[in-house]
């Protein structure tokens, strides 16, 4: 559920960042349930949400434009993501905490 009257800031956990090859998916990135996070990638990217042993992300998932910064949340029933990029490039994920 969205909370519009809250202030959000960096969680204090280090950002997750790496270089993703073209037409490749990351391994599972565990963020925890109800985790709110920022994500961006140098190339167009696709994000899927799931739990342990989830399938790889593909172009079938919703596409976000290259270099856009998205704020996403894992939700109650998922605790991890996988990222796919058609062009590859550096991706960056930063968890947020509510103040």
Residue 11's pLDDT band (cuts 50, 70, 90): confident
What are the residue boundaries of the structural domains of the chain, listed by start?
13-98
Give per-residue pLDDT as tens, 29-77.
999 999 999 999 999 999 999 999 999 999 999 999 999 999 999 999 9
* Model confidence pTM above 0.75: yes
Q: How much of the chain exceeds pLDDT 90, in percent?
A: 76
Q: Report yes or no: 9 and 71 within 8 Å, Cβ to Cβ.
A: no
Are 82 and 28 within 8 A, CB to CB?
yes
For tokens 């709110």, name the residue: 36
- What average pLDDT does the structure give for the chain? 89
Instruction: Give mean pLDDT, residues 76-89.
Output: 94
Topology of the domain covering 13-98: Jelly Rolls (2.60.120)
- d(CA 92, CA 55) in angstroms, rounded, equals 21
């Amino acid at each position: 559920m969205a909370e519009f009257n809250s202030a959000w800031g960096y969680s204090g956990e280090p950002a997750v960042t790496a270089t993703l090859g073209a037409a490749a998916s990351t391994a599972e990135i565990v963020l925890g349930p109800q985790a709110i996070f920022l994500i961006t990638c140098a190339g167009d990217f696709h994000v899927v949400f799931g739990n342990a042993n989830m399938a790889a992300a593909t172009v079938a998932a919703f596409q976000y434009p290259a270099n856009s910064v998205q704020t996403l949340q894992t939700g109650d029933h998922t605790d991890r993501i996988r990222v796919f990029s058609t062009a590859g490039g550096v991706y960056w994920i930063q968890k947020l905490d509510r103040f």
